[in-house]
Amino acid sequence: MAINWFKYSAPTTFYGLAGKLIPWFAIPAALLFAIGLYIGFAVAPVDAQQGEFYRIIFIHVPSSILSMFLYLIMAGYAALGLIFNTRLSAMMATAIAPTGALFAFISLWTGALWGKPMWGAWWVWDARLTSELILLFLYLGFIALHASIDDPRRADRASALLAIVGSVNVPIIYFSVKWWNTLHQGSTIKFTGTTMHVAMQQAMFTMLAACWLYAIAVVLARVRSIILERERNTVWITELPEVRS
Amino acid sequence: MSLDIWMRENPLTYIWLGSYAVALLIFAIEIAMVRHKRKITLQQVRQMREAEDEAGDEK
């Protein structure tokens, strides 16, 4: 049976679908967070060099990965909205930005907490750290620019351009540890494999999955409010059961 | 006791309070904000609908 994907690009259809999907992402996210934290703190062994401090990795790495991927997804949606003038794409980009910004902040915050015992400094103007900070500013710039323009369609177009141009920063973040001599360590997990202990990998991938599911659930919940707000003058919104009650 | 000594003596407390508690608090605040936004938006849409219904009745 072929699925008509274009049907789900309409806010009318997507609103209901998003509402049904949220619990399917939120509940597994909570379970995986609990499992990931259990493996990370009770099962994974102490690191030979970094001692207990390495355990920050289980939140630092997933939040860093999410901050970069969410930006690319946000820029992708923004580009779709700009090219095809689809309403839902722009709404999705707007819904992703705050979650991406929070993950970028958590990445920087936990990185600082890891840096202090390992490097002796909360912050250094290292290429990886600086480019991640720029990513946070790009998210904040996207949110601020969108909020500063009253007409939502004009706001979508202006902020989409910022998102697309800013996406050049994501490969810079990823490759910064290869291109420059940085204090930040290189990638532990590569396409060719990893030297991490199995329990450490399990904890990290479980937390990564939990963060992904959490981000999807929160973005779906936020986009429903954005759809409600922007389509409030349409007939289908006034006929929704939650609006009629 | 300085923070440097304290963190080395209590690494797990430092990690939990500094990273995980902060991250979970941020997630909790984000969830609360999303729920609040939905509540407020629904209220606004309902008020608009009620106003339209009243205007329709007056006609």
pLDDT at A182 over 70: yes
Contact assignment for B15 to A55 by CB distance below 8 Å: yes
Distance, CA of A197 to CA of A195 (rounded, Å): 7
Mutate to test the interface with A, among B12, B19, B36 (most CBs of A within 10 A): B19
Q: Which residues of A194-226 are buried (b: 16+ CB within 10 A; e: fewer)?
A: eebeeebebbbbbbbbbbbbbbbbbbbbbbbbb
Distance, CA of B19 to CA of A61 (rounded, Å): 12
Distance, CA of A37 to CA of A14 (rounded, Å): 33
Closest partner residue to A225 (CB to CB) among B19, B20, B41 is: B41
Span A48-67, average pLDDT: 92
Nearest CA to CA, how far is A42 from chain B (Å)?
A: 11
Chain A contact set for B12 (CB, 8 A): 41, 52, 55
Q: Which tens digits make up the pLDDT trace of A195-228?
A: 788 999 999 999 999 999 999 999 999 999 999 9
Whether A123 and A129 have beta carbons less than 8 Å apart is answered as yes
- pTM, two decimal places: 0.93
Q: Which tens digits make up the pLDDT trace of A60-81?
A: 999 999 999 999 999 999 999 9
Q: Which tens digits make up the pLDDT trace of A8-36?
A: 778 889 999 999 999 999 999 999 999 99
Whole-complex ipTM = 0.90
**Is residue A169 helix, strand or coil?**
helix
Q: Which residues pair with residue A193 across a beta bridge? A: A190
- Token pair in block for residue A38: 């259990």
pLDDT band with cut points at 50, 70 and 90 for residue A120? confident
Which residue ranges in chain B fall short of pLDDT 70? 1, 59
Phi, psi of A188, rounded to the nearest 5 degrees: -80, -40
Interface of B with A in 1-59 (CB under 8 A): 4, 7-8, 11-12, 14-15, 18-20, 22-23, 26-27, 30-31, 34-35, 37-38, 41-42, 44-46, 48-49, 52
Distance, CA of A242 to CA of B40 (rounded, Å): 13
pLDDT band with cut points at 50, 70 and 90 for residue A181? confident
First to last CA, chain A: 36
- Token pair in block for residue A90: 């722009």
